Amino acid sequence: MKLYDLPPSPNARRVRIFVAEKGLEIPTIAVDMAKGENKAADYLAKNSLGKMPVLELDDGTCIAESGAICRYLEETHPEPALMGRTAVERAQVEMWNRRMELEILLPLIHVFGHTHEMWKGVHTQVAEWGELCRENSLNRLAWLDGEIAGRDYIVNDNYSVADITLQCALVLGKAVGVRVPEELDNVNAWFARVAARPTARA
Amino acid sequence: MKLYDLPPSPNARRVRIFVAEKGLEIPTIAVDMAKGENKAADYLAKNSLGKMPVLELDDGTCIAESGAICRYLEETHPEPALMGRTAVERAQVEMWNRRMELEILLPLIHVFGHTHEMWKGVHTQVAEWGELCRENSLNRLAWLDGEIAGRDYIVNDNYSVADITLQCALVLGKAVGVRVPEELDNVNAWFARVAARPTARA
């Protein structure tokens, strides 16, 4: 296997942390967007959307989308379980992972894409939308603070892919000036907990 | 089990079609947003985000997020398989389902939320963002037309949850004036194929 990677991308980081938590070592190949490598024909043959990450299997099969890559690794390397152990647990992990992705990570990606000067001229930016996403992501963090009261991780007391999604979202948040407000004690305690894991810098 | 439903919602429809394809009969309870039922305490206890659908199990456990509900039903009622039969197939279905959701359904939900008068005054609308999403969703449909050339369904020749996601996206598309352009022969042929299934009106 090999992993086509984009080091600063939150989606690529999700997969790298997942791989590290599984104790796997998968060689990574950084794709240089600045040089247009992701739009070159050989990369588009792996993922026609030109996005990273992509997991390439030994037979050449390519799996794009971080959620799909994590699912493949979970099935082929079940321990430690990062997506739950029973049908109900797996549904709960999936529910929380989706919430972390759709309610927090995706809005922060939009803050980045629509307000950061790095994207000026690369795609159409709608600053008003970026600012609305900033506000929405902060609202969801406040909601989350109540939800996780009394538990160590996003889903009960087991570290899971839902934690990975949120920790990667918050790393991006820092880069775009969305920080967890001080008064959100539960989210701040949670972040200190996950940031202390040896895999957090993967 | 019972399903808290929002009849016109594309996410709720995804679950209803999935349930119908499995041959299951799960009683549905329509939650009336106009009456604020989704923000009432008893519903918020089931899903604190006040969104539909929610699957309530017989022991009272509630599963929100359409993707999580479908996964639970796939695990507890494996036939017919709608998410692939091997680890690689399941990864491919997940990859395509994510693409259909993130690249087409979600943009169309934004077109609806940011340009339709139904949402005026309900939440902040950023019309420019809605219009950009309209353009992006059409670009992705053109991309998809090339991708599915020569196959019957989104993932190879098996109907899957990825088809369900796209067919629900396109029903919403019609409501917001995003129709599949005539020249996209493969997408149009695919849509005729899935729309002819007995479950399409679930």
Which ipTM did the prediction report?
0.96
Instruction: Note whether residue B82 is domain-resident.
Output: no
The C-alpha atoms of residue B25 and residue B19 are separated, in whole angstroms, by 7
- Verify that B19 and B107 share a domain, yes or no: no
| Mean of all residue pLDDT scores within chain A | 97
- Residue B6 in domain: yes
- Are B147 and A103 inside 8 Å of each other by CB? no
* A110 and A49, same domain (yes or no): no
Q: For residues A101 and A175, state if they share a domain.
A: yes
> Which phi and psi angles does A56 have, rounded to 5°?
-105, 125
pLDDT of residue B49: 97
- The last residue of one of the domains, among A46, A76, A106, is A76
Structure confidence by residue, pLDDT tens digits, A72-126 = 999 999 999 999 999 999 999 999 999 999 999 999 999 999 999 988 988 999 9
| Shared domain check, B185 and B97 | yes
A139 vs B: CB within 8 A: no
- Kindly state whether A88 is in contact with chain B, defined as any CB-CB distance less than 8 angstroms: yes
Q: Which residue of A has its CA nearest to B97?
A: A68
A102's tokens? 């759709």
pLDDT at A122: 87
Q: What is the CATH number of the domain that holds B7?
A: 3.40.30.10
pLDDT at residue B156 in the model: 86
Regarding whether B94 and B61 lie in a shared domain, the answer is no
CATH number (domain holding residue A164) = 1.20.1050.10
Nearest CA in chain B to A97: B68
Same domain, B190 and B92: yes
Q: Are the beta carbons of B95 and A63 separated by less than 8 Å?
A: yes
A66 with A94, same domain? no
- Which residue type, as a one-letter code, is found at position B17? I
Residue of B58, B63, B71, B102 best to disrupt the A interface, most CBs of A under 10 A: B71
A95 touching chain B per CB within 8 A: yes
Percent of chain A with pLDDT over 70: 100
Phi/psi at A183 (nearest 5 deg)? -75, -10
For residue A81, is it within any domain?
A: no
Say yes or no for a CB contact (<8 Å) between A75 and B90.
Answer: yes
Compute the nearest-CA separation of A194 from chain B (Å). Answer: 24
Same domain, A61 and A140: no
pLDDT confidence band for A3 (50 / 70 / 90): very high
Domain boundary among B76, B99, B131: B76
Q: Which of A64, A76, A91 is facing B63, going by the closest CB pair?
A: A91
Q: Is A69 on the interface with B (CB under 8 A)?
A: yes
Same domain, A33 and A11: yes
How far is A10 from chain B, CA to nearest CA, in Å?
A: 16
Chain A 30-49, CB below 8 Å of chain B: which residues? 48-49
Instruction: Quote the minimal CA–CA distance from B193 to chain A in Å.
Output: 25
pLDDT digits (tens, 9 = 90+) for A26-72: 999 999 999 999 999 999 999 999 999 999 999 999 999 999 999 99
In a domain, B188, yes or no: yes
- Compute the distance between CA of residue A172 and CA of residue A191 in angstroms, rounded to an integer: 13
Residue in A95, A106, A133, A140 to test binding to B, most B beta-carbons within 10 Å: A95
End-to-end, the C-alpha distance of chain A in Å comes to 18
Asked whether residue A149 is assigned to any structural domain, the reply reads yes
Which of A51, A76, A101 is where one domain is finished? A76
Residue A82 covered by a domain:
no
Q: How far apart are CA A116 and CA A102, in angstroms?
A: 20
Q: Domain of residue A151: give its range.
A: 87-195
**Which residues, given as ranges, of chain B have pLDDT below 70?**
none
Residue A168: closest CA among A125, A126, A199, A122: A199
pLDDT in tens, A85-96: 999 999 999 999
Asked whether residue A156 carries a pLDDT value surpassing 90, the answer given is: no
Number of domains in chain A: 2
Q: Are residues B123 and B70 in the same domain?
A: no
Residues of B in contact with A98 (CB under 8 A): 65, 67-68
Assigned domain for A200 exists:
no
Do residues B178 and B97 share a domain? Answer: yes
Residue B30: phi, psi to the nearest 5? Answer: -75, 130
Asked if the structure places residue B201 within a domain, the reply is no
Pair of tokens at residue B178:
């995003």
Strand partners, B158: B155
Please name the residue that has the structure tokens 């109540």.
A146
| A40 lies in the same domain as A135 | no
User: What is the CB neighbour count within 10 angstroms for residue B181?
Assistant: 12
Residue B142: the pLDDT is: 98
DSSP character string of A65-116: SHHHHHHHHHHHS-SS-SS-SSHHHHHHHHHHHHHIIIIIIHHHHHHHHHH-
